[in-house]
Chain A
Amino acid sequence: MTAVTTDANPQDARKAGRIVYLAAVVLLCAWVLVPLYFLLINTLSSPEAVNSFPKSFFPAFDLGSLTFFANFGGMLSALKNSIIVAALTMVLSILIGAPAGYALSRFDFRGKELFRLLILLTRAFPLPLLALPLAVLFIRTGLDDTALGLALVHTTLAIPFAVLITFSLFSGIPIELEEAAWTLGCTRLTAFTKVVLPLILPGITASAIFAFVISWNEVFAAAVLTIENRTLTAFLLQTLGEAPLHLKFAGGFILVVPALIFIFAVRKYLFAMWGIANR
């Protein structure tokens, strides 16, 4: 490629472009990292330091707030509930969403487009609108205040994403790969397990993580539908409303860290979903 000659020195233009690029990268990183950093500092500071100004740049490693939470009644069980509900949501949304995604990508049937639209429409109803009728229904069926009941609600929130993500995953796999497997001695099922599944596993994982995070962060349905078995978000919302600032920070920290660790552990698959780290 030959460079287009302009009045400006191309060397300068390239340098300027690079500076803009770097600035954008720094800004975006700061956007995400600075709040997280303050969360970390304030969590690890003594109550006095949290309320004082200016902030110190380095945390004081005062574990007082965290120890308070560790010993706070119901805290650990709320954490456990959150994990159970998120895990259930993850499993349910993949079990229901992935076959729907496969069907959408591989088969032609009447009303396919309408079906795709309807999947998205499930997100069109605000949760507060659904929460009260759901609560009544759950109380009647005995699903209220259970992990499964809440996971069902979270699954309906996560399914549109699960279906659409897996739909695009399956569509990205040429049907010829399956056909080749059939001619090489596979049945429909073995072709799926030996060829399609290994290829979409990263994407399935990514979509599962997505479901996990949706459930982990969801607070409204959790607050309405559970009383005794609160998830972490609902629990913190309930208990931290009147709590002092340093405890709010610590609570936020406890909420953020597991999700961060989880996403970090499976980041490879998230990138694969967006085609960055794909082989």
Chain B
Amino acid sequence: MAVIEIKNVAKTFGAYTALHDINLTIQDQEFMVLLGASGCGKTTLLRIIAGLETATTGEVWIGGRRVDHLPPKDRGIAMVFQNYAVFPHLTVFENIGFGLRMQKLPNDEVKRRVERTAGLMHIDQLLKRYSGELSGGQRQRVAVARALAMEPDVILMDEPLSNLDALLRMEMRAELKGVLAESNTTAIYVTHDQVEAMSMADRISVMHKGEIVQAATPLEVYRNPAAEFVAGFIGNPPMNFLPATPKGAGKWAVGGQVIDGPQKNKALNFAIRPEDLRLADSGLTARAKVVEPLGAHLLVTCDIDGALFRAVLDSDMTVKPGDTLTLAPQPDRVRWFDPDTTRAVA
């Protein structure tokens, strides 16, 4: 049971500012993902919440208690590290029970909790082993079980799946989501993998250059990106942008076409997701450059007035490089961005 409040947190390393004035509230039992490219400050923010790093300014509150002056052990958190950090000199059992032993719980309670969490993570067969005898996936399970055994208010995860191979990552993703949902803890999960973020999160905070650009549900972040960075970062392939010039009365000239848009009188960027385009009789005129058949669909990279533009089409279409395509954007999926602020325009 813990709400996490981050109030005006900033962090500077010498002349470099890693975090600018972060404000974020994470609801009780919410699964919050901090998403961003490497160096955007997401790990720094997580470490500040954990107490492994101190904020230069600002406050961190967990469960209505100000914790930014407390050491990690007094914050009611547990953390899963990217490289697992399983203690090599202890068995799996003692690893999972490490935090419980530090709390001086009686032996039978330690045993009960270790066995329960080990069962939850399907590692009950490995309790007598040492970390050197485990695979990467198993070590990851031990690290998660060790955090869960603490029965923490908040569980913090720093790219926990990034060292696993692709198949295992997909498996663990679903499993982690299930286990965390049942454990009723608030979770903060740092990743640079948008698929992980989309599939696991209740809410995603997209971070860029030390700021939270948008904090919203995965679908909201995908459909209504608050800034060009979010639109370009989320989605694979990312959103397309084209410069648009106002023609007055909500009409805009885009790629030689006139399209309905917001009532503004300055140059904007028109944006559309590649999968929200289809071939039609009228629309944007594009010249196909590269055609990639991906099985489920066809990814066509084209050129509109010199700008790169991607379209995801039905795989039955026969498109060859050099073809001229007429691409009609789905009207309710078109978004507009102000090129000066890079923010979305309603």
Interface residues of A (CB under 8 A from B): 174, 176-177, 179-187, 190, 194-195, 198-199, 279
Interface residues of B (CB under 8 A from A): 50-52, 71-73, 77-79, 81-83, 85, 87-89, 98-99, 102-103, 130, 132, 146, 150, 156
Complex contact B83–A184 (CB within 8 A):
no
Complex contact A174–B83 (CB within 8 A):
yes
Complex contact A185–B88 (CB within 8 A):
no
Complex contact B98–A183 (CB within 8 A):
no
Complex contact A179–B81 (CB within 8 A):
yes
Given A185-B102, A186-B73, A187-B73; A180-B85 close (CB under 8 Å): yes
Complex contact B150–A184 (CB within 8 A):
yes
**CA separation between A279 and B91, bound complex, in Å?**
12
B45 to chain A, nearest CB (A): 16
Given contact pairs A182-B52, A194-B102, a sample of 17 additional A-B residue pairs in the complex whose CB atoms are under 8 Å apart: A174-B83, A176-B82, A176-B85, A177-B85, A179-B81, A180-B79, A181-B87, A183-B51, A183-B52, A183-B79, A183-B156, A184-B102, A187-B71, A190-B102, A198-B89, A199-B88, A279-B88
Complex contact B71–A182 (CB within 8 A):
yes
A176 / chain B contacts, CB cutoff of 8 Å: 81-83, 85
A184 / chain B contacts, CB cutoff of 8 Å: 73, 78, 98-99, 102, 146, 150
Prevailing SS type, chain A contact patch: helix
B72 / chain A contacts, CB cutoff of 8 Å: 179, 182-183
Complex contact A183–B73 (CB within 8 A):
yes
B216 to chain A, nearest CB (A): 29
**CA separation between A199 and B86, bound complex, in Å?**
12
**CA separation between A185 and B88, bound complex, in Å?**
18
Q: What is the chain B residue whose CB lies nearest that of A185?
A: B102
**CA separation between A135 and B154, bound complex, in Å?**
63
**CA separation between A185 and B78, bound complex, in Å?**
9
B130 / chain A contacts, CB cutoff of 8 Å: 279
Given A186-B73, A198-B89; A179-B102 close (CB under 8 Å): no
B77 / chain A contacts, CB cutoff of 8 Å: 183
B78 / chain A contacts, CB cutoff of 8 Å: 183-184
Complex contact A181–B81 (CB within 8 A):
no
B89 / chain A contacts, CB cutoff of 8 Å: 195, 198-199
A177 / chain B contacts, CB cutoff of 8 Å: 85, 87
**CA separation between A199 and B85, bound complex, in Å?**
13
**CA separation between A195 and B85, bound complex, in Å?**
11
A187 / chain B contacts, CB cutoff of 8 Å: 71, 73
Q: Can you list 25 contacts pairing A with B, beta carbon distance less than 8 Å?
A: A176-B82, A176-B83, A179-B85, A180-B87, A180-B146, A181-B87, A181-B98, A182-B51, A183-B51, A183-B73, A183-B77, A183-B78, A183-B79, A184-B78, A184-B98, A184-B102, A184-B150, A185-B99, A185-B102, A186-B73, A187-B71, A190-B102, A194-B98, A199-B88, A279-B132
B341 to chain A, nearest CB (A): 38
**CA separation between A208 and B98, bound complex, in Å?**
29
**CA separation between A183 and B150, bound complex, in Å?**
10
A195 / chain B contacts, CB cutoff of 8 Å: 87, 89
Complex contact A186–B81 (CB within 8 A):
no
**CA separation between A174 and B51, bound complex, in Å?**
18
A174 / chain B contacts, CB cutoff of 8 Å: 83, 85
A198 to chain B, nearest CB (A): 5
**CA separation between A51 and B2, bound complex, in Å?**
87
**CA separation between A279 and B81, bound complex, in Å?**
22
A51 to chain B, nearest CB (A): 55
**CA separation between A198 and B77, bound complex, in Å?**
25
**CA separation between A174 and B77, bound complex, in Å?**
21
Complex contact A182–B87 (CB within 8 A):
no
**CA separation between A262 and B260, bound complex, in Å?**
88
Q: What is the chain A residue whose CB lies nearest that of B73?
A: A185
A171 to chain B, nearest CB (A): 15
Q: What is the chain B residue whose CB lies nearest that of A180?
A: B85
**CA separation between A44 and B237, bound complex, in Å?**
84
A190 to chain B, nearest CB (A): 7
**CA separation between A159 and B308, bound complex, in Å?**
64
**CA separation between A198 and B87, bound complex, in Å?**
10
A185 / chain B contacts, CB cutoff of 8 Å: 73, 99, 102-103, 150
A183 / chain B contacts, CB cutoff of 8 Å: 50-52, 72-73, 77-79, 156
A180 / chain B contacts, CB cutoff of 8 Å: 79, 81, 85, 87, 146
**CA separation between A194 and B79, bound complex, in Å?**
18
**CA separation between A194 and B103, bound complex, in Å?**
14
A52 to chain B, nearest CB (A): 56
A198 / chain B contacts, CB cutoff of 8 Å: 89
**CA separation between A187 and B70, bound complex, in Å?**
11
